Structure 1
Amino acid sequence: MHDQQSPATEAPTGAAATGTGAAGAGAAALPGIAEVRAAMTAPGRLFEMDEVDVRGVRTRVWKNAPPTLREILDISRLHGDAAFLVYEGDRLSFAEHYARAAAFARALIGRYGVAKGDRVAIAMRNYPEWSVAFFGAAVAGAVVVPLNAWWTAAELEYGLADSGAKVLVADAERADRLAGALPGLGVPCVVARGDGAVPEGCEAFEDVLGDVGDPAAASLPDVAIDPDDEATIFYTSGTTGRPKGALGTHRNITTNPVSLAYGVISGGVRAGRSLEELTAPQRRVTLLSVPFFHATGCHSVLVTSALQGGTVVMMYKWDVRGALELIERERVTGFGGVPTMAWQVLTSPDFGEFDTSSLTGVSYGGAPAAPALVDKIRERLPERVPGNGYGLTETSSVTTYNGGVNYLERPESVGPPVAVCDVKVVDPSGAELPPGEVGELLIKGPNVIKGYWNKPEATAQAFVDGWFHSGDLARLDEDGFVYIVDRAKDMLIRGGENIYCAEVEAALYEHPAVADCAVIGVPHEVLGEEVGAVVVPRPGAAVSEEELRGFLGERIAGFKVPVHYWFRGEGLPRNPGGKILKTRLREELLG
């Protein structure tokens, strides 16, 4: 999936947004990014780095990162009876989760013959069983294959066949969807959240777990796992063509919590706060608004919370009022998702009815964020500073992070790369471009995945000498901050002039009547393309085409102002990661 990722948890002792701290700092006295990095990564510090060989490439790594998911699960056990997963009336403690994951790992090995390297697929909503299956399969030595729960039966069949899954763990809805195909695929299915009946040939999750026993006596199976062993296959969003399986290692996924912590904390260090203060244990409660089956939900929320001892609060599906109710009831400290979700919560007419004082931060990604969102957060949540991250499925979520004083200084940026990552911007020939020039963003680091599952040609094109070719158009400033300009395929060319959709969309979001929007190219015989805008007005607000043209004409160059407008009462089509499906929009509107 090529898009920005939201570190949707919060901060310190692990990773996510403090969301506080930088607002009042005097910019003139602030240290530079390089100075902060040197202080944070010095020998003996939490973020000390080492250098190792990863697939023939010398790579900087976090010296103190847990080597595999097994170690993260072991660490999570130390949080004992504290709540780890909250879903409606269910509350699963860290100790209970550990015991259930251990039991499931043993069942995979003993009941289904799963061996190291076998694939175990998961197809379900955000239920506690998703996490149990994920960690259980990982510590059994399997490669976990999270499948998109929104997929059709045919798409799920593709994921199972393409990955060569040996076992499927599904919720009842997905199991029913696949009931006709499972016998032909020859994949045994374990069904969670059923009503007692399961499709023929399937077993109930609780029956497979059996008697979990005393959590204090639980033990993991004895399977040797190396940091560079394969751990996950996350399928890309598949907005065009068949999705590709991004093959990640244990090192890839366990790098992310430390990278996220580094990104968040660095903003506070720049503002003059001590590393000791910023890494002091704090109770984190994250409202999960994105799926576990994408890198943000799994890497940046689930795995990070397991390491930190943070609570993950899940929803059956995204609902603004429901989110506000959970923020109040569970004393949520952080939420996020894509920028639209943050907008919806902060501009909800119900916002004032609920106690949101527990919130310490708002983090978002998955789509370009309009700088005006900062003002809305400051208005609704004084003293809190938002965080915005950038990453991709192929970079195991976080590559850059912009938070604290960094965000206040440069809200248009997604921040500098974390210390173990290198980035560069290149032209079509591969030559590196100087700061300020737009080109393709390349990324190198321990977070870059191994390649695409069973797709050697695609792997060879995208991964070269340790560098991942993101396909994203970006520029760097003199201080190394990254600015995502657009996806190459979404860039419009009108009469020879490049128009970046993100810039036009950011300007549209500044209009008080605009709740959501997307900019697309409209074919034109002479110019090649013209700019079109799909706009969702805020509830109760009215805005005309003429008004938007005049509003935008004061903010962006005339050739960038859309000449075609569509107004919709319902939301824009998005994939589960929050990315707008512009291909579908074009098909609906232009045929």
Structure 2
Amino acid sequence: MPVTEFHGPGGPLPHIPDDVTLAQFMLDSDHPSRPVRRVLQGNPWMIEDATGRAIGYGEVVSRTNGLANAMSSRWHIAEDEAVCIFGSNHVDYPIAVWATHRLGAIVTGANPAYTAGELQYQLETTKARLLFVNNASYPVGIAAAKAVGLSLDRVVLFDPLENLASSTSFKHLTVHELVKEGLAQPQRYTARRLRRGEGKTKIAFLSFSSGTTGKPKAVCISHYAPIANVIQMSHLANNQEGPWEITKWRTGDVVMGDIYGLVVIMHFMMFYGESLVVVPKFNFLGFLSSIQRHRIGCLAVVPPMVVLLCKHPAVKDYDLSSVHSIMSGAAPLSSELTQQVAKVLPQACVGQGYGMTETSTTVSFPQIEQKICTPGTAGRLIPGVVARVLRADGSLAGFNEPGHLVIKSPANALRYMNDADATRETFVDGWVHTGDEVIINERMELFVVDRIKELIKVRGYQVAPAELEGHILDHADVSDVCVVGLPDEYSGELPLAFVTPSAAAAERMKKDPAEAARVRAAIAKHVADAKVHYKRLEGGVEFVEAIPKNPSGKLLRRVLRDRAKEMKAQGRLAKPPKARM
């Protein structure tokens, strides 16, 4: 009988509680999948990179409770209200998350690179009642808060403002001040308790994910989903056998990560007893220095960071011998890069994982029995995940046969907020349609072949072509446009716009050949002024007489994607991608 479903090996899973919030699961309870009881953990939960300050379990709980108390007494943050966290990594980021959950409220995390307009959209969509920001995010945060009418006293700083005193006369409260205030008062809130089964429906996060059309969508993630995913990953880690050299997840380890942080790094790694080094912003030389200084054992990275590890001349100047495990995620890591980084760090295990916001998060993890995981694979399905691979006609594919990946997992998100059409397309009878074309082999290893959805992946971030196309069409010199992903070794892909110029622009370019460069620059600036950095047209702008479409008017994006690859190979792009180091 042909295989119709692929099950992640290593089950069954331990019990997944459905009557606790994520904060209660992390801070107030033990679980069979947790390797060491939380109270007995002598290792810190977090280490502040710049100062080396260690933050243990007791301080995490105390700060969470103090902040929750202040949020309740000052602003009456309550059931199902949204709190937005807009900033880079910070030791108080999880404190803000778990304090919000103590009150039964919802966390919506915003990309710290957002423009004011993008943040405004997220604040409006979620109706956020409180905004946490850091120094770097402050000017954008204030602009967005003013645009949506959020009172300045509801903008909270992670740290006191530096070099921005002249930009505001308003005295914002800091997280530390609120923690002290909350701990100095009697507890004025009642911690939210869930009924049996309520964890499966009560929303913990509104996380924004780029869809195939229009602006990003708010994904509704229950408390149960990340709890389930943490248990799935911990159960897999507990099944590790064999030599210590290939043991990837180690209680007491020191770890550092960049992206896919909310569930994998902030929850799973701390739950598993690993100390997380918190680095506010990625800088490669600082990254190398942190590895050496803290003797970091496990790196959770994205492919551009692997490229730098392989090619940057400074790597040889640092002692990276402590690194025993490298896990790449957010975008495919090529077989070639896997082999290259294995030569640079020969003592380290190297593997990949795969996941998405809609599966909250992990679907596959590095193979626990391999030091250098099967090159080209995105890991192995984790316990509790059931996958189907759909052929083009909707029938079920078997082993080693390509098709559309759909996932059933206890960690799946619930739906998109206020978007019934997109929900019906992605969330179907308990299955998440990923939009990725994959192959699954007999060892339940996952190979990502192509993207069925039209999303572009830039350094692990999702970019919806339709969002950029809608914005570019507002430019006076543009008659029609199609945005595609241009392959790039460092970034994975770069947005490239094929543009049909307006009649007036075409006439100007005909009269003056130099006008073409000016129009290209103006279109690129039009995007850069309004969009986050990874959505900018780093692949360039190419002019075409007409955008190819099918008879019903749908853009033939693949035709232009193939044309872009060919133009790059032949050196005919107007803006050749820069080599990065």
TM-score, structure 1 normalization: 0.70
Report the 3-state secondary structure (helix = DSSP H, G, I; strand = E; otherwise coil) of the residue aligned with 1:69. Answer: helix
In structure 2, relative to structure 1, the CA distance for the partners of 1:309 and 1:517 (3 Å cut) is closer
**Aligned partner of 2:26: which letter?**
I
Report the 3-state secondary structure (helix = DSSP H, G, I; strand = E; otherwise coil) of the residue aligned with 2:131. Answer: strand
In structure 2, relative to structure 1, the CA distance for the partners of 1:83 and 1:439 (3 Å cut) is closer
Pairing partner for 1:124 from 84, 87, 93:
87
Task: Return the alpha-carbon distance in structure 2 between the equivalents of residues 134 and 477 of structure 1.
Answer: 38
Task: Return the alpha-carbon distance in structure 2 between the equivalents of residues 97 and 141 of structure 1.
Answer: 18
Residue number in structure 1 paired with 2:176: 206
1:153-552 map, 5 Å: 153-183=116-146, 184-186=148-150, 188-195=154-161, 200=170, 202-211=172-181, 221-225=190-194, 226-228=198-200, 229-237=202-210, 241-263=214-236, 268-269=240-241, 272=242, 282-290=251-259, 296-405=260-369, 408=372, 410-489=374-453, 518=493, 528-529=559-560, 530-533=562-565
Given that 2:390 and 2:403 are in contact with CA atoms closer than 8 Å, whether structure 1 keeps it comes out as: yes
Report Cα offsets for 1:452-511 as digits up to 9, x if no partner.
12222211221111001111111222343221112124599xxxxxxxx99x96xx86xx
In structure 2, relative to structure 1, the CA distance for the partners of 1:442 and 1:421 (3 Å cut) is same
In structure 2, relative to structure 1, the CA distance for the partners of 1:83 and 1:255 (3 Å cut) is closer
Task: Return the alpha-carbon distance in structure 1 between the equivalents of residues 211 and 49 of structure 2.
Answer: 29
1:103 and 2:66 matched? yes
Residue number in structure 2 paired with 1:59: none
In structure 2, relative to structure 1, the CA distance for the partners of 1:283 and 1:346 (3 Å cut) is farther
Residue number in structure 1 paired with 2:25: 71
How far does residue 71 in structure 1 lie from its aligned partner after superposition?
2.1
Report the 3-state secondary structure (helix = DSSP H, G, I; strand = E; otherwise coil) of the residue aligned with 1:373. Answer: helix
Gaps of 5+ in 2: 1-5, 30-37, 457-483, 499-543, 549-557
In structure 2, relative to structure 1, the CA distance for the partners of 1:297 and 1:279 (3 Å cut) is closer
Identity of aligned residues (%): 21
1:151 and 2:114 matched? yes
- How many positions carry a matched residue from both structures? 471
Given that 1:517 and 1:534 are in contact with CA atoms closer than 8 Å, whether structure 2 keeps it comes out as: no
Of 523-532 and 461-470, the range deviating more from structure 2: 523-532
How far does residue 227 in structure 1 lie from its aligned partner after superposition?
2.4
In structure 2, relative to structure 1, the CA distance for the partners of 1:202 and 1:157 (3 Å cut) is farther
How far does residue 73 in structure 1 lie from its aligned partner after superposition?
2.0
Report the 3-state secondary structure (helix = DSSP H, G, I; strand = E; otherwise coil) of the residue aligned with 2:337. Answer: helix
Task: Return the alpha-carbon distance in structure 2 between the equivalents of residues 343 and 280 of structure 1.
Answer: 23
Given that 2:156 and 2:175 are in contact with CA atoms closer than 8 Å, whether structure 1 keeps it comes out as: yes
How far does residue 288 in structure 1 lie from its aligned partner after superposition?
2.5
In structure 2, relative to structure 1, the CA distance for the partners of 1:289 and 1:396 (3 Å cut) is same
In structure 2, relative to structure 1, the CA distance for the partners of 1:346 and 1:86 (3 Å cut) is farther
Given that 1:386 and 1:403 are in contact with CA atoms closer than 8 Å, whether structure 2 keeps it comes out as: no
Pairing partner for 1:568 from 561, 565, 577:
577
Report Cα offsets for 1:193-247 as digits up to 9, x if no partner.
2327566484333332225659xx9999532034222111111146862110111
Given that 1:137 and 1:144 are in contact with CA atoms closer than 8 Å, whether structure 2 keeps it comes out as: yes
In structure 2, relative to structure 1, the CA distance for the partners of 1:520 and 1:84 (3 Å cut) is closer
Of 388-397 and 301-310, the range deviating more from structure 2: 301-310
How far does residue 415 in structure 1 lie from its aligned partner after superposition?
2.7
Task: Return the alpha-carbon distance in structure 2 between the equivalents of residues 301 and 49 of structure 1.
Answer: 21
How far does residue 565 in structure 1 lie from its aligned partner after superposition?
9.0
Gaps of 5+ in 1: 1-33, 43-47, 51-61, 291-295, 493-500, 510-514, 536-544, 550-561, 573-591
How far does residue 427 in structure 1 lie from its aligned partner after superposition?
3.0
**Aligned partner of 1:351: which letter?**
V
How far does residue 567 in structure 1 lie from its aligned partner after superposition?
3.5
In structure 2, relative to structure 1, the CA distance for the partners of 1:177 and 1:461 (3 Å cut) is same
In structure 2, relative to structure 1, the CA distance for the partners of 1:199 and 1:190 (3 Å cut) is farther
Report the 3-state secondary structure (helix = DSSP H, G, I; strand = E; otherwise coil) of the residue aligned with 1:403. Answer: coil
Residue number in structure 2 paired with 1:53: none
Task: Return the alpha-carbon distance in structure 1 between the equivalents of residues 394 and 340 of structure 2.
Answer: 40
1:7-46 map, 5 Å: 37=9, 40-41=10-11
Relative contact order: is structure 1 or structure 2 higher (C-alpha 8 Å, sep ≥ 6)? 1
In structure 2, relative to structure 1, the CA distance for the partners of 1:323 and 1:520 (3 Å cut) is closer
1:88 and 2:50 matched? yes
Given that 2:292 and 2:319 are in contact with CA atoms closer than 8 Å, whether structure 1 keeps it comes out as: yes
How far does residue 175 in structure 1 lie from its aligned partner after superposition?
3.5
Report Cα offsets for 1:10-49 as digits up to 9, x if no partner.
xxxxxxxxxxxxxxxxxxxxxxxx9993xx436xxxxx44
In structure 2, relative to structure 1, the CA distance for the partners of 1:93 and 1:325 (3 Å cut) is same
Task: Return the alpha-carbon distance in structure 2 between the equivalents of residues 426 and 332 of structure 1.
Answer: 41
Give the RMSD, CA atoms, in angstroms. 3.8
How far does residue 433 in structure 1 lie from its aligned partner after superposition?
2.1
Given that 1:116 and 1:142 are in contact with CA atoms closer than 8 Å, whether structure 2 keeps it comes out as: yes
In structure 2, relative to structure 1, the CA distance for the partners of 1:483 and 1:135 (3 Å cut) is same
Of 251-260 and 191-200, the range deviating more from structure 2: 191-200
Of 469-478 and 319-328, the range deviating more from structure 2: 469-478
Given that 2:7 and 2:444 are in contact with CA atoms closer than 8 Å, whether structure 1 keeps it comes out as: no
Report the 3-state secondary structure (helix = DSSP H, G, I; strand = E; otherwise coil) of the residue aligned with 2:137. Answer: helix
Report the 3-state secondary structure (helix = DSSP H, G, I; strand = E; otherwise coil) of the residue aligned with 2:364. Answer: strand
Of 222-231 and 232-241, the range deviating more from structure 2: 232-241
Given that 1:248 and 1:449 are in contact with CA atoms closer than 8 Å, whether structure 2 keeps it comes out as: yes
In structure 2, relative to structure 1, the CA distance for the partners of 1:179 and 1:98 (3 Å cut) is same
Task: Return the alpha-carbon distance in structure 1 between the equivalents of residues 238 and 40 of structure 2.
Answer: 24
How far does residue 128 in structure 1 lie from its aligned partner after superposition?
1.5
In structure 2, relative to structure 1, the CA distance for the partners of 1:218 and 1:389 (3 Å cut) is farther
Task: Return the alpha-carbon distance in structure 1 between the equivalents of residues 159 and 43 of structure 2.
Answer: 23
Given that 2:270 and 2:276 are in contact with CA atoms closer than 8 Å, whether structure 1 keeps it comes out as: no
**Aligned partner of 1:454: which letter?**
N
How far does residue 124 in structure 1 lie from its aligned partner after superposition?
1.0
Given that 1:337 and 1:365 are in contact with CA atoms closer than 8 Å, whether structure 2 keeps it comes out as: yes
Task: Return the alpha-carbon distance in structure 2 between the equivalents of residues 232 and 436 of structure 1.
Answer: 35
Of 399-408 and 473-482, the range deviating more from structure 2: 399-408
Residue number in structure 2 paired with 1:113: 76
**Aligned partner of 1:206: which letter?**
H
